[in-house]
A = this chain, B = another copy of it.
Amino acid sequence: MKIDGLMHSSVPRNHFASDNNSPAHPAVIEAIISANKGHALGYGDDYYTQRACEKIRQIFGKKCEPFFLFTGTGANVLSISALTRPYNAVICAESAHLNTAECGALEKFAGVKLYTIPTETGKITTADIEKFLIYNHNQHHSQPKVVSLTQATDFGLCYSLDEVRLICDYAHSRQLYVHMDGARLYNACAALEVPLREMTVEAGLDSLSLGGTKNGLLGAEAVLFFREELAGEFKYIRKQGMQLASKMRFLAVQMEALLTDDLWLTNARHANHMAALLRDKLAEIPNLKLTREVQTNMIYCIIPPESIDIIRQSYLFYVFDEIRSEVRLVTSYDTTEEDVLGLAREAKRAMADSGQE
């Protein structure tokens, strides 16, 4: 994806480039300030981290083992490392962030191979998974071991609760683990109105990359294991994986703030609503073609290159597919109605101009 000829100026402005372009939510800053007092033991042996772990267990259940770390890539790569040996393979959608946008981190660190499935939606099925089981027990082939689901997918679409359950049941019956990349899990749960616990541990997941940074944090993610035996040695993987924070409390309190008073839900719901509003406004523009269903906070549509250039003078966003001129618009917890209406107005104007040519 590409943003050309655009350098961020010093004047703050809202983007539709990514939900990680947004600032931290004020409650998150407050949480950091309130934890910024006196000394605390490093590396997680502190009061704040314990408190945040308690909060996570309240939400995801007592058997959940949480670990805080810095990046979504770190969460994906290290949690899958815990589930695999290098001769294993991970089955995922071709569009999965794991495959497309982590610079080969999983291959490098875990040593595993990715078996990828082309999809329109980012969602895979048990039939997709089954095709790779032919490799089982054959020494020439990386052995399938983990199914990784992205919820919501990189196209903003959601697995239903039943779909997640079905895949977990299927996978477990084939001796496969199920990992979820939940960088935007909040948006999916908000959209489907399903509680976090139901969508994850109760649906049968073995491990979860729990997002944060894309939903209002300064920068914090978590890995959750839902089977104690998988978590046993993860602390070494996290340290060897360079993701162990010395001042852990500052990661912990961010996540705690997000999970307090349903801030995660308020934030995600708002982003989803703004996306729905934007979709509705864009749908009214002649010739602008929406290319994918909008379920969460992402909109994909085709806008001619010359119109893109015009709109981008006011609003940043990425071109997803240059050949089709398909762009991706992402809303965030802090996207305003004014932003949405402004973008729609610009798009309408740009398309009209270009239509007249």
- Show 6 residue pairs from A and B whose CB-CB distance is below 8 angstroms, ordered by the A residue: A8-B46, A12-B37, A18-B246, A139-B236, A218-B247, A218-B250
* Identical copies of this chain, number: 4
Residues of A within 8 A of B (CB-CB), count: 84
Whether A40 pairs with B21 at a CB distance below 8 angstroms is: yes
Residues of A at the B interface (CB closer than 8 Å) are: 3, 7-15, 17-18, 20-24, 29, 32-33, 35-43, 45-47, 70-74, 77-78, 85-87, 89, 100-105, 107-109, 111-113, 134, 139-143, 213-214, 218-219, 233, 235-247, 250-251, 316, 322, 332
- A218-B250, A237-B87 as given contacts; A71 in contact with B245, CB under 8 Å: yes
Distance in angstroms between the alpha carbons of A296 and B95 in the assembled complex: 37
Whether B104 pairs with A87 at a CB distance below 8 angstroms is: yes
Distance in angstroms between the alpha carbons of A14 and B11 in the assembled complex: 40
Whether B104 pairs with A89 at a CB distance below 8 angstroms is: yes
- A40-B21, A107-B113 as given contacts; A139 in contact with B243, CB under 8 Å: no
With a CB–CB cut-off of 8 A, which chain B residues contact A103?
Answer: 87, 139-142, 236, 239-240
- A105-B242, A142-B103, A239-B102 as given contacts; A22 in contact with B39, CB under 8 Å: yes
With a CB–CB cut-off of 8 A, which chain B residues contact A43?
Answer: 139-140
Whether B17 pairs with A37 at a CB distance below 8 angstroms is: no
